[in-house]
Amino acid sequence: MDTPLHPVADLPPSILESFEMNRQCPFAIDAFGADVHAEAALVREQAPATRVLLPGGVSAWAVGRSADIRRLLVDPRVSKDAYRHWPAWIGGEVDAGWPLAIWVSVQNMITAYGSEHTRLRRPAAAAFTARRAAGMRPRIEEVVGELLKDLAALEPGHPVDLRTQFAHELPTRIVFELFGIPERSWAPLHRIINAFFDTNITAEQAQRNAADLDVTMADLVAHRREHPGDDMTSALIAARDTTTTAAGADNGADNGAGGEGEGARLSEKELVDSLILLFTAGYETSVNLICTALHELLRNPHQLALVRRGLASWEDVVEEALRIEPPAFYGLLRFAVEDIDMGEGVVIGRGEPILISFGSAGRDPAVHGADAERFDVLRATRGQHLSFGFGTHHCLGATLARMECAVAVRRFFETFPQAALAGAQELPRVQSFISNGLRELPVVLGPRAPLAD
């Protein structure tokens, strides 16, 4: 059965009314992300950029056309640094009390601009090389095998939630092992990460979450300083501490500004914020991607048949899953360094926030055709998505996430060749307009093939 199409004419009247009102004023992005694709389709059709209102009353421009997004992602007039290029943040009009402040208050490579981005990305890229990622394949295969054995030991015939018992467990073990995170921190970090992506969170809840994060991260960094290992956290700590020592002449001051140049050190805040970015993105991206790939093949069995017949690869499945349901739907936030003429009479003013819709780009008919909402592993444009970003902010963990998903999905269907969805085809999704994934994936596993050793 094909994924159903949702023509604009068939969208709920409430959403259509909201967009009609948008011709005079911003429409409010749904904090629960109830129908992000419906919103994205209308954003895409309105104009090159459309005014929207984010939770907490923050106004921004939403951009949904693939060509416009690609152009903005490499435009030097676009920044992610709120401290330098968002007047509302600099002047305190928007501050740490904003429920989504964590997305702009962190100081790491994802929020940096120009030479600062280069400085902050360098130590992470050095620690997280393609070679390191490729070297993790045996461990990924091992963990997947362990999880499949656990699934096989369950009582047959009863639905299993693959998100909780498979898709969640794999990146938890792989990413948290990669960063050397002790098991005592796993549960607190999961709670914190879930709160990051809750776009309906209150200011009070967000501030409590930030306080919990400070405690958890301080414990992690202290633990790894005392017990360094062959992990990403230890590598980044070593990069910070080594350059701090080498800097010598700075009197040991650590005011949070890293400075510029190849020898410039990470501040302690930049170290912590870089770690937050890397393992949060590594976990959430992989969970959502694995769930999407499994779900699409389960509800489109003829697509799974194409893979089994060798007409498409598991890597093709991963790319089409990334295209049709990017693990992160919107990117918060970018800022215009100067006025940007988008065409069609739309100008994004200097200092105004920009909301990039990666989910919209993946279903843009101008790139993927009139059937862009249909899952198709043979689609010629399946790799022409922006789900891992584009340009200087392209995701460092893209290789690892793709590998995890391809191994997990291949091994699952080899082990449970007759697995089927339990119940409805349409499943509840994560209540967020940033994170884009299923809240649950109930599946009846069916007869099991012999498990690999």
Q: Tell me, what amino acid is at 313? A: S
Q: Percent of the chain beyond pLDDT 70?
A: 89
Residue 3 within any structural domain of the chain: no
Residues 6+ apart with CB under 8 A from 248: none
Q: Which whole number is the average pLDDT over 409-436?
A: 93
Task: Write the DSSP assignment of 241-268 as a string of letters.
Answer: HHHHHHH-TTTT---S---SSTTPPPPH
Q: Measured between alpha carbons, how far is 88 from 117 in angstroms, rounded to an integer?
A: 22
**36-60 average pLDDT score:** 94
Taking the C-alpha atoms of residue 121 and residue 381, their distance in angstroms, rounded to an integer, is 29
CATH classification of the domain holding 141? 1.10.630.10
Rounded average pLDDT over 243-251: 46
Q: How many domains does the chain have?
A: 1
Q: 255 in a domain, yes or no?
A: no
Query: Which range of residues forms the domain containing residue 112?
Result: 8-250+261-444
pLDDT of residue 25: 63
In a domain, 398, yes or no: yes
> Which residues are tagged catalytic?
281, 284, 286, 395, 404
CB 333 within 8 A of CB 86: yes
Structural domain includes residue 449: no
422 inside domain: yes
Q: Kindly report, residue by residue over 135-183, the tens digit of the pLDDT.
A: 899 999 999 999 999 999 998 889 999 999 999 999 999 999 999 998 8
Task: With respect to residue 453, please indicate whether it lies within any of the assigned structural domains.
Answer: no
Kindly report which listed range (77-81, 114-118, 378-382, 409-413) carries the lowest average pLDDT score. Answer: 114-118
The answer as to whether 86 is a domain residue is yes
Give 210: exposed, middle or buried? Use CB within 10 Å, 0-12, 13-18, 19+: middle
Six token digits for residue 16: 């259509």
- Encode pLDDT of 226-240 as tens digits: 999 988 899 889 888
Contact 232, 135 (CB under 8 A): no
Domain assignment present for residue 277? The answer is yes
